[in-house]
């Protein structure tokens, strides 16, 4: 309600900027440096290597017990879950949705300021809101065989409610991209897996590959045909694979050789595939584009000393989960932060927790010369810029 009212005002805060900076945010659901670093060393993520050598990279401090809706809402509003209202997958018995947001998200502020906005598959953006551009929702979209909207994947034609803004874009996407899955696939249950381990793992991973391919096709289509000043797109399959196919050892909690031995590379393969999608997105990133790659959290094997190591209400169902991210201390599973663009340092590693999920929105607003609203808790990441501030701040030249 609050957001709708704010949007209705529609008054640019600081007037129209003549040449607006271009910002692309590529989000990944669960990017784990422990898995990615060896791949980088072996040259198996050439696109990510290129971005890192031309930019700033490091950990992204997340929130306690992090999960997707919580963290992406914290990113969007630069406020903690208790303040913005999205405290988990389910809030007050209802699946988290945009009507529950108590703080204004970044895309609404940008839209009001005359910045064109394009978003695809960002978690917790269902039902979509009107923006100065387009929005295709992501994780937590409700639909057929996915009534609660939690970690299932309705196709565009099966969605119940508004998954695309403007509505006219639904048929355009169906025609040019296909009847896309809105999110990654639900993980198989323990009953489905037992006795059919090899078949279930193989078929499920094949489906994940298909979903990623369609997601990449959607991103490319939108970047080609609907370029916007601010674009944010999020991939969702990495995390889902890690939860039950993380490459763990026999001494880890929950090790089951029947599942673990089927595709030992399943999880690292997700990042190899991610790198190819990244390459497609980078084709739209020129020297004047600010490019941010972020993830909401990492993902680590279960630990025996947790109160209940297997407890993982958000994704589990009855899936035999062997890795998770909702550890009480979010610092145990930091996300990733990578930035590249005009005036941004090259090959600079951010040590410790210099960047937090709350800093993304203020930093992007500064790039557009928009003042940070009072409620936002983060700070502008001045340390990533060579001169301590984005070149375009305020002027947009």
**Residues in the site for Zn ion, rule: CB under 5 A?**
239, 315
Phi-psi region of 69 (alpha: psi -120 to 50; beta: other; left: phi over 0): alpha
Q: Which two tokens stand for residue 250?
A: 């026999």
**Nearest distance from C-beta of residue 29 to Zn ion, angstroms:** 7
Do 241 and 266 touch, CB atoms closer than 8 A? yes
Residue nearest to Zn ion (CB): 239
- Specify the residue, 61 or 315, whose C-beta has the smaller distance to Zn ion: 315
**Nearest distance from C-beta of residue 314 to Zn ion, angstroms:** 6
- Specify the residue, 155 or 315, whose C-beta has the smaller distance to Zn ion: 315
Do 153 and 181 touch, CB atoms closer than 8 A? yes
- Specify the residue, 68 or 223, whose C-beta has the smaller distance to Zn ion: 68
In 10 A of CB 8, how many CB atoms?
A: 9
**Nearest distance from C-beta of residue 4 to Zn ion, angstroms:** 30
**Nearest distance from C-beta of residue 254 to Zn ion, angstroms:** 15
- Specify the residue, 3 or 234, whose C-beta has the smaller distance to Zn ion: 234
φ/ψ of residue 205, rounded to 5: -65, -35
**Nearest distance from C-beta of residue 281 to Zn ion, angstroms:** 22
- Specify the residue, 110 or 211, whose C-beta has the smaller distance to Zn ion: 211
**Nearest distance from C-beta of residue 237 to Zn ion, angstroms:** 11
- Specify the residue, 61 or 312, whose C-beta has the smaller distance to Zn ion: 312
Q: What is the DSSP letter of 68?
A: H
- Specify the residue, 239 or 275, whose C-beta has the smaller distance to Zn ion: 239
State the Cα–Cα distance between residues 3 and 140, nearest whole angstrom. 19
State the Cα–Cα distance between residues 318 and 328, nearest whole angstrom. 21
**Nearest distance from C-beta of residue 280 to Zn ion, angstroms:** 24
- Specify the residue, 300 or 315, whose C-beta has the smaller distance to Zn ion: 315
Q: Which two tokens stand for residue 291?
A: 């490019």
**Nearest distance from C-beta of residue 218 to Zn ion, angstroms:** 21
State the Cα–Cα distance between residues 121 and 117, nearest whole angstrom. 14
- Specify the residue, 142 or 315, whose C-beta has the smaller distance to Zn ion: 315
Do 375 and 85 touch, CB atoms closer than 8 A? no
Give CB contacts under 8 A, 24+ apart, made by 4-13.
4/129, 6/104, 6/108, 6/112, 7/108, 7/111, 7/112, 7/129, 7/130, 9/112, 10/112, 11/112, 12/112, 12/113, 12/114, 13/109, 13/112, 13/113, 13/370, 13/371
**Nearest distance from C-beta of residue 121 to Zn ion, angstroms:** 15
State the Cα–Cα distance between residues 277 and 299, nearest whole angstrom. 21
């Amino acid at each position: 309600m609050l957001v709708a009212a704010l949007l209705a005002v529609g008054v640019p805060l600081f007037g129209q900027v003549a040449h607006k900076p271009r910002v692309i945010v590529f989000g990944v659901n669960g990017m784990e440096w422990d898995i990615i670093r060896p791949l980088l060393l072996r040259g198996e993520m050439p696109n990510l290597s290129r971005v890192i050598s031309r930019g700033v990279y490091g950990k992204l401090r997340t929130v306690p017990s992090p999960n997707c809706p919580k963290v992406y809402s914290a990113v969007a509003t630069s406020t903690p879950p208790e303040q913005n209202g999205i405290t988990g997958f389910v809030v007050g018995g209802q699946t988290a949705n945009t009507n529950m947001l108590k703080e204004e998200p970044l895309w609404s502020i940008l839209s009001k300021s005359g910045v064109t906005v394009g978003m695809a598959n960002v978690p917790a953006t269902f039902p979509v809101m009107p923006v100065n551009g387009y929005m295709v929702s992501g994780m937590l979209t409700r639909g057929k065989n996915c009534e609660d909207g939690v970690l299932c994947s309705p196709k565009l034609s099966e969605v119940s409610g508004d998954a695309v803004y403007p509505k006219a874009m639904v048929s355009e996407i169906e025609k040019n991209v296909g009847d896309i899955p809105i999110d990654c696939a639900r993980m198989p249950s323990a009953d489905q897996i037992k006795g059919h381990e090899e078949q279930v793992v193989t078929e499920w991973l094949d489906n994940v590959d298909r979903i990623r391919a369609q997601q990449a096709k959607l991103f490319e289509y939108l970047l080609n045909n609907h370029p916007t000043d601010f674009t944010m797109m999020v991939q969702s399959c990495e995390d889902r694979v890690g939860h039950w196919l993380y490459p763990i050892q026999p001494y880890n909690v929950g090790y089951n050789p029947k599942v673990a031995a089927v595709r030992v590379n399943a999880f690292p393969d997700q990042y190899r595939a991610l790198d190819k999608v990244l390459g497609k997105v980078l084709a739209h990133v020129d020297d004047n584009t600010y490019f941010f790659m972020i993830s909401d959290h990492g993902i680590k094997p279960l630990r025996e000393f947790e109160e209940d190591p297997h407890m993982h209400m958000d994704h589990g169902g009855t899936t035999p989960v062997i890795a998770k991210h909702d550890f009480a201390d979010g610092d145990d599973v930091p996300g990733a932060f990578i930035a590249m663009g005009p005036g941004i340092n090259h090959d600079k590693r951010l040590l410790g927790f210099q960047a937090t999920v709350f800093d993304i929105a203020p930093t992007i607003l500064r790039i557009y010369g928009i003042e940070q609203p009072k409620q936002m808790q983060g700070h502008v990441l001045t340390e990533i810029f060579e001169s301590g501030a984005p070149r375009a701040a305020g002027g947009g030249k």
